[in-house]
């Protein structure tokens, strides 16, 4: 066996040619396919949880897990596109809650036609993205600080608009459409889950197959290089934040359908959960690396851990502990595979 | 002033500039600099730090605009407001930082910012890329330039050596620089062997007929590659030398002002 034929890649003739170790090979494979790691973690952890508690793979439990993942999956999708540009969005949850209150408020309190109220909520969500995008591009505020500011602003606006009320649409209201369940045997698929999957397909296509997507990666990778090759980086970043905002708006609608009402009293961990899903899914916080499929795996992993540990009878705090460890492990792996060299 | 090769005197310059001035606050970086690049030649631009080399190149590549003075491309007066203007006119620049996206593969980098799209609505509306065609044409292009150091066009740039990255940046410039390619210190960050690879690529570009402006500190490679040498000093063109009639010592002496041109 010759030494130089061991790798399919080319590169210069190796100077101190040494046979690749198993670690090297894993590093290369993960570098080429960053969503492979999360997939492996997802499958193995699911199997382990099922061995611990046989109800894990039951149709009922799988249905519930998918329903739970729909909203966080959508938020993580928007978050992913922003993280790919080396940005971060701390206002995801606040933007979604604001959009949700506007949708329900316009339909139920102001008496707008439901479709128009939903459109109004989507527009509000889009504007939240526009505000974040303008802060980052026009006013050169680092995304971390800009969205920390808008986190406060959007949260306050949502609370002011809601005025402490919980708005509950009556049964059959179109606002609840994403919560509709489609029965497939004993498995029930929520419409919102389908909405989420369709959006993953659309965004995945845009990132992987269009020039826009290529530019998202280039800007996240090296913004100066992107500018020098003639990419309008400000316009691109703006489009990314607006797209993310629109996705948060759709997440707001799914949230109303899933829960059955609109209230500002929603988990405060939405922001971090969306980042967690992306990071566990192999999306690099340094930008330019990762795919949305990985984020979907990441969101599922978080859900599988929460659900599996609960079924195993483990206390809440250990679920948080596990999630925290997963994030640290994911970032450490990312740092490692970014060092790859042939 | 002495023009290195009299034969060029009859040809029209591809790119020229007259009396360029550029001041940054109180610092006058260019004080009436002239510049001429003729078809099919490699023109080296040398000069001490602060001589106005980079200011001159920035004006020619559209990265900054001169306070006064004129630039001519193919005999026509041009005004570049941005690097994009210069690119559109057919002047490509390889910056010292290379301006490549490390995580993207070679083909994506070659076409970054000018992706080939599918025909029809898919391409015009959705900007759907023709990835197969981009890879095929990138491969053909790299082969045509005789760049052997780039084998697998789908390899991410971050897995390449410094010389290979330089080759990617040069190949991109050559692919789209229809009139002029400007190379800023292409061998500054490279080892001896890699410098030689890049030098070979630069010669191949010239043999394909592309005129090249080569900014370099590396005297041996300047004297090996250049057809003529533009010596920049104190914001002006101090001399134009020919490697045939002048030595490195002459060049350094004029560059540092030890000897008048």
φ/ψ (deg, to 5) at A80? -60, -45
Structural domain harbouring B12: 6-90+177-256
Domain termination site, one of B110, B136, B161: B161
The answer to whether position A73 is within a domain reads yes
Q: What is the pLDDT of residues A243-257, one digit of tens each?
A: 999 999 999 999 999
DSSP code at position A167: B
Q: What is the pLDDT of residues B65-81, one digit of tens each?
A: 999 999 999 999 999 98
Smallest CA–CA separation between B253 and chain A, in Å?
35
| Candidates B84, B112, B121, partner chain A, best to mutate (most A CBs within 10 A) | B112
* C-alpha torsion B211→B217→B220→B224, nearest 10: 0
Q: What is the pLDDT of residue A2?
A: 37
Q: How many CB atoms within 10 Å of residue A25?
A: 12
The answer to whether position B199 is within a domain reads yes
Among residues B106, B81, B98, B80, the alpha carbon closest in space to that of B179 is found at B80
In the structure, what pLDDT confidence band is assigned to residue B121 with cuts at 50, 70 and 90?
confident
Q: Do A10 and B152 touch (CB under 8 A)?
A: yes
Q: Do B112 and A209 touch (CB under 8 A)?
A: no
How many inter-chain contacts (A to B, CB under 8 Å) are there? 89
Q: How many domains does chain B contain in total?
A: 2
The answer to whether position B54 is within a domain reads yes
The answer to whether position B64 is within a domain reads yes
Nearest chain A residue to B111 by CA distance is A229
Q: What is the pLDDT of residue A340?
A: 65
Nearest chain B residue to A84 by CA distance is B103
Q: What is the pLDDT of residues A76-105, one digit of tens each?
A: 999 999 999 999 999 999 999 999 999 999
Residue carrying structure tokens 């301006």: B99
One domain, residues B84 and B203 = yes
Q: What is the pLDDT of residues B135-188, one digit of tens each?
A: 999 998 888 877 777 888 999 898 888 888 888 998 899 888 789 999 998 888
- Cα separation, A185 vs A59, whole angstroms: 9
The answer to whether position B19 is within a domain reads yes
pLDDT surpasses 50 at A291: yes
| Candidates B61, B62, B94, B103, partner chain A, best to mutate (most A CBs within 10 A) | B103
Q: What is the pLDDT of residue B96?
A: 83
One domain, residues B239 and B130 = no
Q: What is the pLDDT of residue A4?
A: 37
Q: Are strands B228-233 and B42-47 parallel, antiparallel or unpaired?
A: parallel
CB nearest to A228's CB, from B95, B108, B160? B95
Looking at chain A, list the stretches that DSSP marks H as alpha helix, in order from N- to C-terminal side: 22-32, 36-52, 59-84, 92-104, 114-137, 143-162, 191-209, 211-221, 223-228, 233-259, 270-280, 292-311, 316-337
Q: What is the pLDDT of residue A316?
A: 82
Query: Which is more confident, A129 or B25?
Result: A129
| Radius of gyration over every alpha carbon of chain A, rounded to an integer in angstroms | 21
DSSP run (H or E) holding A187: strand A187-190
Q: What is the pLDDT of residue A327?
A: 86
Least confident of A31-35, A209-213, A271-275, B108-112: A31-35
The answer to whether position A165 is within a domain reads yes
Q: Extract the tokens encoding A97.
A: 């809650």
Contact by Cβ (8 Å): A70, A196: yes
Domain termination site, one of B161, B185, B214: B161
Least confident of A1-5, A121-125, B134-138, B176-180: A1-5
SS3 of chain B: CCCCCHHHHHCCCCEEEEEEEEEECCEEEEEEEEEEECCCCEEEEEECCCCCHHHHHHHHHCCCCCCEEEEEECCEEECCCCHHHHHHCCEEEECCCCCCCCCCEHHHHHCCCCCCECCCHHHHCCCEECHHHHHHHHHHHHHHCCCCCCCCCCCEHHHCCHHHHHHHHHHHHHHHCCCEEEEECCCCCCCHHHHHHHHHHHHHHHHCCCCEEEECCCHHHHHHHCCEEEEEECCEEEEEECCCCCCHHHHHHHHHCCCCC
The answer to whether position A302 is within a domain reads yes
Mean residue pLDDT across chain A: 89
Q: What is the pLDDT of residue B10?
A: 57
């Amino acid at each position: 066996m010759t030494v130089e034929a061991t790798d399919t890649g080319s590169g210069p003739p190796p100077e101190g040619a040494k046979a690749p170790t198993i670690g090297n090979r894993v590093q290369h494979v993960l570098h080429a396919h960053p969503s492979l790691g999360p997939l492996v973690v997802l499958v193995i952890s699911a199997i382990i949880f099922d061995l611990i508690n046989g109800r894990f793979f039951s149709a009922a439990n799988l249905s519930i897990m998918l329903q739970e993942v729909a909203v966080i999956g959508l938020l993580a999708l928007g978050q992913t596109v922003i993280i790919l540009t080396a940005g971060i969005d701390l206002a995801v949850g606040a933007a979604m809650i604001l959009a949700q209150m506007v949708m329900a408020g316009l339909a139920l309190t102001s008496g707008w036609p439901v479709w128009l109220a939903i459109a109004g909520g989507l527009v509000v969500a889009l504007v939240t993205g526009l505000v974040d995008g303008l802060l980052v591009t026009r006013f050169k505020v680092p995304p971390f600080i800009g969205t920390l500011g808008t986190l406060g602003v959007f949260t306050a606006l949502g609370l002011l608009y809601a005025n402490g009320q919980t708005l509950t649409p009556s049964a059959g209201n179109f606002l609840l459409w994403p919560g509709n369940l489609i029965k497939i045997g004993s498995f029930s698929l929520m419409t919102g889950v389908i909405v989420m999957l369709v959006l993953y397909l659309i965004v995945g296509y845009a990132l992987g197959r269009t020039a826009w997507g290529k530019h998202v990666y280039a800007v996240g990778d090296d913004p100066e290089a992107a500018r020098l090759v003639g990419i309008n980086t400000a316009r691109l970043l703006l489009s990314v934040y607006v797209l993310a905002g629109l996705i948060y708006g759709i997440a707001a609608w799914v949230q109303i359908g899933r829960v059955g009402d609109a209230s500002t009293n929603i988990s405060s961990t939405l922001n971090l959960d969306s980042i967690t899903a992306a990071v566990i899914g192999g999306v690099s916080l340094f930008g330019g690396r990762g795919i949305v499929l990985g984020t979907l795996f990441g969101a599922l992993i978080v859900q599988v851990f929460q659900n599996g540990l609960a079924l195993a009878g483990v206390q809440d705090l250990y679920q948080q502990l596990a999630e925290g460890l997963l994030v640290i492990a994911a970032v450490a792996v990312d740092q490692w595979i970014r060092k790859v060299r042939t | 002033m002495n023009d290195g090769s009299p034969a060029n005197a009859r040809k029209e310059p591809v790119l020229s500039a007259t009396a360029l001035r550029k001041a940054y606050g109180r610092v006058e970086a260019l004080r009436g600099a002239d510049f001429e690049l003729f078809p099919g030649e490699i023109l080296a631009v040398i000069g001490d730090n602060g001589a106005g080399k980079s200011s001159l190149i920035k004006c020619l590549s559209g990265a900054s605009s001169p306070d006064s003075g004129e630039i001519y491309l193919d005999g026509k007066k041009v005004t570049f407001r941005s690097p994009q203007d210069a690119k559109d006119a057919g002047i490509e620049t390889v910056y010292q930082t290379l301006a490549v996206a490390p995580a993207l593969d070679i083909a994506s980098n070659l076409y970054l910012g000018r992706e080939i799209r599918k025909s029809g609505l898919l391409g015009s509306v959705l900007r759907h890329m023709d990835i197969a065609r981009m890879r095929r044409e990138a491969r053909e292009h790299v082969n045509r330039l005789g760049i052997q150091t780039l084998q697998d066009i789908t390899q991410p740039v971050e897995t390449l050596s410094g010389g290979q990255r330089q080759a990617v940046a040069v190949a991109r410039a050559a692919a789209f620089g229809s009139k002029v390619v400007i190379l800023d210190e292409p061998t500054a960050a490279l080892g001896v062997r890699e410098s030689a690879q890049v030098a070979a690529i630069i010669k191949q570009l010239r043999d394909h007929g592309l005129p090249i402006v080569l900014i370099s500190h590396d005297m041996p490679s300047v004297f090996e590659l250049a057809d003529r040498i533009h010596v920049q000093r104190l914001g002006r063109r101090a001399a134009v030398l020919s490697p045939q009639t002048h030595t490195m010592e002459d060049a350094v002496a004029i560059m540092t002002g030890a000897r008048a041109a």
